[in-house]
């Protein structure tokens, strides 16, 4: 079954507490069978991730990474609910991996919501002009613009970027998977990336 409906995804999310993309992926893998999809989510430890989203995560670590030649440095704050989890090897590894990723991929924003509206407006303007220049019909230009915006997010937003060590996962999915395995909320709160000679935004 290739067409999984939004209703199926919502029903599975409500039943398991899994994230939207994880619920959809499980339904596709289970050929639309909700019971099988639930089992798959439980096996992967992803059931319950969304239910933890509203919990407070005020413990954690500030991880750092410096490139071997000293030209790039990163500080990133990764939070958990308890200091017990913050001290686990898995959590510490996540924080290190995110710091290395930021050094390599140079994200500009943490989440889509952090992208300023004027930046988005400028991108939309550019994409619309490009589509018009290519002679695309007016009625399809908005879809083209939306598609290019999705690519823009994947390029500049940390949680949307493909993980540098495993491009089958986004950083957001990596964080969610770690949270599922550790059994509590895990979140990247903020980061800063320094590159020699560059001004900070």
pLDDT of residue 74: 97
CB 160 within 8 Å of CB 112: yes
* Segments in the chain below pLDDT 70: 1-2, 17, 45-57, 201
pLDDT recorded at residue 49: 57
Contacts of residue 66, Cβ cutoff 8 Å, sequence gap at least 6: 72, 73, 74
Separation of CA 33 from chain center: 26
Buried b (16+ CB within 10 A) or exposed e, 100-113: bbbbebbbebbeee
What is the model's pLDDT at position 201? Answer: 62
What pLDDT is stored for residue 163 in this prediction? Answer: 97
DSSP SS3 for 55? coil
CB-CB neighbours of 35 under 10 Å: 10
Q: What domains can you pick out in the chain, each with its CATH number?
A: 6-51 (1.10.8.10), 56-110+157-195 (3.30.479.20), 116-156 (1.10.286.20)
Tens of pLDDT, residues 38-65? 888 777 766 555 555 556 667 999 999 9
What pLDDT is stored for residue 133 in this prediction? 87
Q: Model pTM?
A: 0.71
């Amino acid at each position: 079954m290739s067409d999984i409906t939004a209703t199926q995804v919502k029903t599975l999310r409500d039943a398991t507490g899994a994230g939207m993309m994880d619920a959809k992926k499980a339904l596709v893998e289970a050929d639309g069978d909700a019971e099988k999809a639930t089992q798959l989510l439980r096996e992967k430890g992803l059931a319950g991730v969304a239910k933890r989203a509203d919990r407070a995560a005020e413990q954690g670590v500030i991880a750092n990474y410096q490139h071997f030649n000293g030209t790039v440095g990163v500080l990133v704050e990764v939070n958990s609910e308890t200091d017990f989890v913050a001290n686990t090897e898995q959590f510490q590894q996540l924080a290190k991996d995110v710091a290395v990723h930021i050094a390599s991929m140079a994200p500009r924003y943490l989440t889509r919501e952090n992208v300023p509206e004027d930046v988005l407006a400028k991108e939309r303007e550019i994409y619309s002009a490009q589509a018009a220049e290519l002679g695309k019909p007016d009625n399809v230009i908005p879809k083209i613009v939306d598609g290019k915006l999705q690519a823009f997010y994947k390029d500049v937003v940390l949680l949307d970027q493909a993980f540098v060590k495993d491009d089958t996962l986004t950083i957001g999915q990596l964080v969610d998977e770690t949270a599922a395995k550790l059994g509590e909320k895990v979140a990247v709160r903020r980061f800063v990336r320094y590159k020699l000679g560059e001004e900070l935004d």
